[in-house]
Amino acid sequence: MPRDEQPDTSAKRARALGLAPGAGTPGPTNSITDVTGVRVGHVTIHEGTRLHTGVTAVVPDAVDVAGGRVPAGLFVGNGYGKLVGATQLAELGEIETPIVLTGTLSAFRAADALVTYVLDKPRNEAVESLNPVVGETNDGHLSDIRSRPITEEHVLTALRSATSDPVEQGCVGAGTGTAALGFKGGIGSSSRVVDLGDHGTCTVGVLAQTNFSGTLTVRGVPITPQEALGLDAPGLDTPGLDTPPPLRSPGTRPANDDEPQGNSCMLIVAVDAGLDARQLTRVATRAVFGLARAGSDFAQGSGDYGIAFDTGQRRGIPDQHLNPIFFAVQEAVAEAVLDSLFLATTTEGFHGHTKHAVPLDFVLEKCSAAGALDR
């Protein structure tokens, strides 16, 4: 059946279950909006079983005014994607618009809508060039992606409704129709408060749009759909994207394997440490590295991107003091991935395809047996 409404999901987050990766300290809401000057908005679209898609907007306050820019860095883990605005972001080391996430074939309409949003801002009447940043993952397994259902109004609503409240997670916004690691994916978010010694503290926040392949790994414990759901669970014997990958050692995928090759992950990292663009590129790199902790296989057809931006005043933090930020972003990415799955709900979608939510009772039982549970 279509996903159920979930008004209170806090008890299902990895941290509340005793499954948070690493020992880092989260911010007050354990989400990207813990970083000063960052807001998030969603538009979620359900139409029967045909459409499960949406828009997620990450809005740095500093770019939401005329002429506003923030330093930014980009890392491409695997470039099988349609990230709009990537080359100028990498060349200039900055972003001048909010970041919008959606489904693959709607990315270009979303980019046009983002241009409209910025051009309509006060004092932007003379703007004749703009670099909208729009990321995507392919939600075509559960949603009618060819219909390109995202409209300008959907994007504008996500942007205008963005708030600094705790980020809604799971089957919302750009994660409405995604699937990851053999289960229903979604939007996840996490944060860390980082001690930089003589340079004070900063907050690192991550938002993930999860839609990639691999074997779900929770604190080192592998969780496969076959064992968690049973081999005869509906959808597990469907050819194509609905077939979960078996647990394998790295590098053992046959060259002619017809299993799903991954469908991408977008990682947005916000920091308030006052880093420059070069340093932020290094942070974005570690964000993509963090996917390995959650079990990504970085498959041939997966577009895995990390974008990091900074909202803080420049502090001149030397590179040798960046390690705590590097560690924090990897932890936060791993936790954001877990929350995107743990807060997702089973979704019946297009052409009869179904993606099942990861069964948390099974995860808790297996992690407890492995001594990987904080309880």
Partners of 192 in the β-ladder: 204
Give catalytic status of residue 368 as yes or no.
no
Q: Which of 264, 296, 297, 310 is catalytic?
A: 264
Question: Exposed/middle/buried for 11, CB within 10 Å: 0-12, 13-18, 19+?
Answer: exposed
Q: Which of 144, 302, 339, 340 is catalytic?
A: 302
Cα distances from 76 to residues 86, 98, 117, 167, 220, in angstroms, run 9, 19, 27, 25, 25
Contact assessment for residue 206 and residue 332, using Cβ atoms and an 8 Å cutoff:
yes
Give catalytic status of residue 304 as yes or no.
yes
| Selection from 98, 61, 104 nearest residue 82 by Cα | 104
Q: How many CA atoms lie within 13 A of 234 on its CB side?
A: 11
Which spans in 53-184 are helix H? 86-92, 107-119, 152-160
Using a CB cutoff of 8 Å and minimum separation of 24, what contacts does 367-371 make?
A: 367/19, 367/218, 367/219, 367/221, 370/219, 370/220, 370/221
Give catalytic status of residue 264 as yes or no.
yes
| Tokens coding 43 | 């538009």
Q: Which of 34, 144, 297, 304 is catalytic?
A: 304
Q: Helix crossing, 323-342 with 277-294: angle to 10°?
A: 40
| Selection from 147, 6, 46, 52 nearest residue 353 by Cα | 52
| Tokens coding 18 | 């005793």
d(C-alpha 130, C-alpha 115), whole Å? 7
- Residues whose CB is less than 8 angstroms from the CB of residue 302 and which lie 6 or more positions away in sequence, other chains included: 78, 80, 212, 213, 261, 262, 263, 264, 265, 296
d(C-alpha 214, C-alpha 182), whole Å? 7
- Active site residues per annotation: 264, 302, 304
